[in-house]
Structure 1
Amino acid sequence: MHNQLKHFFQPVKVRPWRLLPEQDAVVSSIVRLHDLEHLQIADFQVAIAGIDESVNSCNNLGCRLTPQLIRPYLYGLRRNSRSVRILELGNVLGNSIIDKYVAMREVARYFSELQIPLIVIGGSQDFTIPLYVGMQSVLPDAHLCVVDALMDDGGSDEALANNFLMSLRNSNAVFPDHVSLVATQKYLVGNTQDEIIADNGMKVLRLGDLRGDGIHLVEPVLRDTHCVSFDVSAIAHADMPGQAIPMPNGLSAHQACQIGWYAGLSDQMRVFGLFELTAETDVTGSSVILAAQIFWHVIEGIAFRYGDYPMRSLDSYANFHVCQDEIGLDIQFFCNPTNNRWWVELKNDDCARVIACSEADYKNFCEGSVPEQWWVVLRSMDCSSVENQF
């Protein structure tokens, strides 16, 4: 696959932003795929791919230019706190958009098999489809988290950037209850889309839920996520002017970086893509700098991964058994005391599923409160098709 990868990508030459000496910058951790000699691909902890394509974007052709604009700033930022080897693949090649879809699908599959996180510098968000499908061929139960101001489920089967969720649903590529939507804005999501969300058991964290300390609600969601698709429209225009449609409300720059950190820290995350940043409206260049900082936080999170569940057995964690007879639930919680991460085991007959939760979820359940998403998970369990994890 090593030689085949070279046929998928155009090598890139990057002149790093000279903020720091080269030995102190991210660039000192990067090896280009086309320069790879003595190291094996399995020796790397992160891979980076650029998508300089926007033909299926929604009135945002300028987003194809962003990989070449973001890289210099990413390369020039401080070297990550722990040693991370980064493989720079280059920009995806192809004579047509279909060729590029196929290439990114195979690349996502390959790096998912190697358990090496793939960071994607978009480009348009329709590439979420091949990235997710490629990863799902390795992880059939894969979860998708979409960070976006809108719900890209626009009403047709075309694989466009503003409709990729419908394309995934209609092709049965994703279980709808395996989709999480983060930072959506209620006035941008229609009643029909609300019905799709409710009928399919999708988890939603609206922008209002994330105000103040609410950004921490994203961490358990991302801990269960395998693919993150981040549309820059989720960020307020004041912090991210490089948008096709300026959004006055949205995530702050700090919150966007924190989401990147949580995504990288997730032991299950295999693909992280940032999409739809348009150079045409990024007059000051602050948007590409923020994008570089988001990617830096993703890599920093990867460097600090804990190797938690499912890489580590739940038997090694503190166990709390809580029974609520009034609502007919008998539940076990697990906690890693070194980082205060929590999980809950939900059972339906002989089936069991473990999902990430928070200490607040544990305390609320002790008082008789059950998150709606737990009922969704329990209803979705089909013991004939869901593997018993215990």
Structure 2
Amino acid sequence: MNLSIFFEPLNEDVYSTLNKPRTLGAYISRFVSKSPDWRSADIAIFGVSESRGRKEDASATANMPARAVRQRLYSLNKGAGRCRIVDLGNLRPGITLEDTYLRLKEIVEVLISHNTIPIIIGGSHDLEYGQYLGYEHLERVVNMVTVDSSVDMTEDVSATPNKKQLRQILMHEPNYLFSLGQIGHQSYLVEPEVMATLEKLHFEAYRVGEVHSGVKEMEPVVRLADLLTFDISAIRHQDAPGYEPANPFGLTGEEACQLCWYAGLNDNLTSLGIYEYDPELDDRELTAMTIATMIWYFIEGYYHRKNELDFTSKQFTRYAVAFNSDQPDRMNFYKSRSSEKWWLEVEPLSSEKSSRIVPCSYEDYLQAIEGEVPNRWVLTQARIG
């Protein structure tokens, strides 16, 4: 498939000075006059200059959020190991916002079908709907994690699309969403009815304070994801001022990079979307540098993947924890010998359904040996049915 017809090529004059040896700019193959070979790439970066989901009267190409991010990213030094990355340019928006969703769906679908991970630099957060649609062809359930200061599930019909796309995802048919993890919300920005809905659906949600208390506990949440979306408003204004309305509270830039590092390490994760960056609000390009560093950590994480997916191999140690109660009577944990990460096997209530092995933390294991059933086991079993 010729993807170049969907993209605007880059202006080489803007990036030609960023090709210094040992920097990422010298290694990333980008679309200038000829589309790069994305089929042999591990990662494909592209921008989406679509802001109609944030302001209905905005032009589809009102700003170019990826331009400043690229300039910062290309100037960063390359990490250790190989680097097979392409930059596809900027996606041409559709005539309508819905057309842009469908274009994004097609691009994501093609890329992940060829084992190339798309990194999307948006654009309003409702574009995650198009990113999610790119998984429909897989004909299996998927797991999604979103990092946001709010939860975009409002029922207010007058709200802009970037405030209700999660509801759109939940209502989409066919329904192939198995789990949704929400990280970094601030309670005073979320309607109580929305949190009640997440609880009813047995989805995980973590306040920003919980991230501050232990960002390492977010690693199993991110490790479960097939796709991750990141709303820049989740980061405090002093670390990323390029969004509105301004918010003095939120994740630190370091915590955002840590989450992207976890995402890169995740063997199952096949797409990353970073949204809501408005370069017009980023006078000194601090937000662009924050996003570029987040992408750098994702790339580094990707090239440190362990391919830890075969739980029957000698790569894992199995721990069986017995319970006195009838349900469960036993719980199996798996620990990787190389990364020391933990997984938990969850048995279904119905014999017609198969068990699932999900990421967990060492704290979940300690809780189990004390005779307490981890909440992660309860939520997963409820979703299995």
Give the AA of the match of 2:122.
G
CA distance in 1, matches of 2:218, 2:57: 28
- Quick one: distance in 2 between partners of 1:373 and 1:174? 22
Q: Is the 8 A contact 1:177 1:203 kept in 2?
A: no
Does residue 76 of structure 1 match 2:75? yes
Q: 1:57 aligns with which of 37, 54, 59?
A: 54
- Which residue of 1 is the match for residue 183 of structure 2? 182
State the shift of 1:127 in Å.
1.0
Provide Cα deviations, 1:232-291, integer angstroms capped at 9, x if missing partner: 110011111111111111000100111111111111111101100112221221111111
Quick one: distance in 1 between partners of 2:52 and 2:285? 23
Contact 2:140/2:176 (<8 A) preserved:
no
**CA-CA distance at 1:60 after TM superposition:** 10
Q: 1:221 to 1:248 in 2, by over 3 A?
A: same
Match of 1:320 in 2: 319
Q: Tell me, in whole angstroms, the C-alpha distance in 1 between the residues paired with 2:190 and 2:133.
A: 25
Contact 2:320 2:331 in 1 (8 A): yes
- Partner residue in 2 for 1:90: 89
2: CA distance between counterparts of 1:156 and 1:113?
Answer: 36
Counterpart residue number, 1:128 = 128
Give the Cα–Cα distance (whole angstroms) in 2 for the partners of residues 141 and 289 of structure 1.
Answer: 35
Measure the CA separation in 1 of the matches of 2:250 and 2:62. Answer: 19
Change (3 A) 1:99 1:380: closer
Report the 3-state secondary structure (helix = DSSP H, G, I; strand = E; otherwise coil) of the residue aligned with 1:320. strand
Letter in 2 for 1:215: V
1:159/1:44 Cα in 2 relative to 1: closer, same or farther (>3 Å)? farther
In structure 2, C-alpha distance between the alignment counterparts of 1:176 and 1:42, rounded to whole Å: 27
Q: How does 1:268-347 map to 2 (within 5 A)?
A: 268-309=268-309, 312-316=310-314, 317-326=316-325, 328-329=327-328, 330-347=330-347
1:67 counterpart = 2:66: yes
Secondary structure of the residue aligned to 1:72 is: helix
2:23 partner amino acid: A
* Unpaired stretches in structure 1, ≥5 consecutive residues: 383-390
Greater CA drift, 96-105 or 76-85: 96-105
Offset of residue 21 of structure 1: 6.6
Which residue matches 1:387? none
Any stretches of 5+ residues in structure 2 without a counterpart? none
1:17: Cα distance to partner?
Answer: 9.4
Deviation at 1:218, TM superposition (A): 1.4
Measured in 1, the distance between the counterparts of 2:363 and 2:241 equals 35
Relative to structure 1, the CA distance from residue 319 to residue 106 in structure 2 (aligned partners, 3 Å threshold; closer, same or farther) is same
Deviation at 1:137, TM superposition (A): 2.0
Kept in 2: contact 1:51–1:91 (CA 8 A):
yes
Question: TM-score, structure 2 length as denominator?
Answer: 0.91
CA contact (8 A) 2:10 2:31 kept: no
User: 1-side partners of 2:33 and 2:84: how far apart?
Assistant: 14
1:45 is displaced (CA, Å) by 0.9
| Letter paired with 1:45 | D
Taking the aligned partners of 2:276 and 2:164, their CA distance within structure 1 comes to 13
What is the distance in 2 between the residues matched to 1:380 and 1:95?
A: 36
1:32 alignment counterpart: 30
C-alpha separation in 1, matches of 2:81 and 2:93:
35
Aligned residues: 375
User: Does the aligned pair in 2 maintain the 1:126–1:159 contact within 8 Å?
Assistant: no
What's the secondary structure of 2:140's corresponding residue?
Answer: coil
Partner SS for 1:22: coil
Q: Greater shift after overlay, 138-147 or 215-224? A: 138-147
The reply on whether 1:42 has 2:39 as its aligned counterpart is yes
Give the superposition deviation at 1:314.
Answer: 3.5
> Contact (CA 8 Å) 2:144, 2:177: kept in 1 or not?
no
**Cα distance in 1 for residues equivalent to 2:57 and 2:76:** 27
Which TM-score applies when normalising by structure 1?
0.90
Q: Distance in 2 between matches of 1:232 and 1:85?
A: 26
SS at match of 2:11: coil
SS at match of 1:146: strand
SS at match of 1:211: helix
Aligned partner of residue 64 in structure 2, secondary structure: helix
One-letter identity of the residue aligned with 1:42: R
**Code of the aligned partner of 1:194:** M
Residues 1-390 of structure 1: pairs in structure 2 closer than 5 A: 1=1, 3=2, 5-13=3-11, 15-16=14-15, 22-33=20-31, 40-58=37-55, 64-96=63-95, 97-138=97-138, 140-155=140-155, 160-172=161-173, 174=175, 178-212=179-213, 214-309=214-309, 312-316=310-314, 317-326=316-325, 328-329=327-328, 330-348=330-348, 349-350=350-351, 351-382=354-385
Aligned-residue sequence identity (percent) comes to 25
Q: Give the Cα–Cα distance (whole angstroms) in 2 for the partners of residues 17 and 239 of structure 1.
A: 28
Per-residue deviation, residues 315-344 of structure 1 (Å, max 9, x unmatched): 331111111123621111111121111111
TM-superposition CA deviations, 1:178-207 (whole Å, max 9, x none): 111000111111111121111111111111
Measured in 2, the distance between the counterparts of 1:184 and 1:46 equals 29
Structure 1 residue matching 2:346: 3-state secondary structure: strand
Distance change in 2, residues 1:332/1:13 (3 Å): same
Counterparts of 1:299 and 1:84 in 2: how far apart (Å)? 9
Question: Mean alpha-carbon deviation: is it higher for 142-151 or for 87-96?
Answer: 87-96
